[in-house]
Amino acid sequence: MSQPDFSIGLFYGSTTCYTEMAAEKIQEALNTLFDFPIVELFNIKDVSLHKAEKYDLLIFGISTWDFGELQEDWESSWDDIKQLNLQGKTVALFGLGDQMGYADWFQDALGMLHDELATLKCDFIGYWPNQGYEFTHSRGLTADKSHFVGLSLDDENQYDLTEERVQTWCEQLLAEISDL
């Protein structure tokens, strides 16, 4: 594939390194699919979210903690989201959670991030089917509850599915980007 005429910024927060490892897998998969190092990776602990404004396509990664709580770096940056100018930008999300230990709050932070970004009038891609998961409730589902608002990973209980899910989701993103 020839060099794309757009840029991708991947921003994540990670406390225990699982979200960081997922971000690196997504970066590697997309760079391989594009056959070009197109994805720049940023830990929001180290950079301002305002850096996201310079990218055409954004990927944000967040994990849900305990009883539906935000990951600490996202919590610290939460008020900055409203100040971003992302109107017309294309955004994809991924989240990590524990569907067995926290079945009533699985991927809640993913849904909270989606709802916060939706007020900025950005365009979302990368919704992910909710089949293959066992949970009771999630704020990370679409209105019809058929999909998560982004890639849903559970490295606590389904680590063996992460690689395949990341690859499939990245291929899905590539197809959706091509349709833009």
- 3 state DSSP class of 40: strand
Q: What is the pLDDT of residue 67?
A: 94
Say which CATH class 8-178 falls into. Answer: alpha beta
Handedness of CA 11, 70, 80, 83 (dihedral sign): positive
Contact 52, 83 (CB under 8 A): no
How do the domains of the chain map onto residue ranges?
A: 8-178
Question: In a structure prediction context, what are the per-residue pLDDT tens digits for the chain, which is 180 residues long?
Answer: 567 778 999 999 999 999 999 999 999 999 999 998 999 999 999 999 999 999 999 999 999 999 999 999 999 999 999 999 999 999 999 999 999 999 999 999 999 999 999 999 999 999 999 999 999 999 999 999 999 999 999 999 999 999 999 999 999 999 999 887
| Per-residue confidence (pLDDT) for residue 178, from 0 to 100 | 87
- Per the CB < 8 A criterion, the answer to whether 40 and 32 are in contact is no
Query: pTM of the full predicted structure?
Result: 0.96
Q: How far apart are CA 150 and CA 153, in angstroms?
A: 10
Angle (CA) 28 31 32, round 5°: 85
pLDDT at 1: 59
152 beta partners = 95
Dihedral class, residue 69 (left if φ above 0, else alpha if ψ from -120 to 50, else beta): beta
- Encode pLDDT of 137-177 as tens digits: 999 999 999 999 999 999 999 999 999 999 999 999 999 99
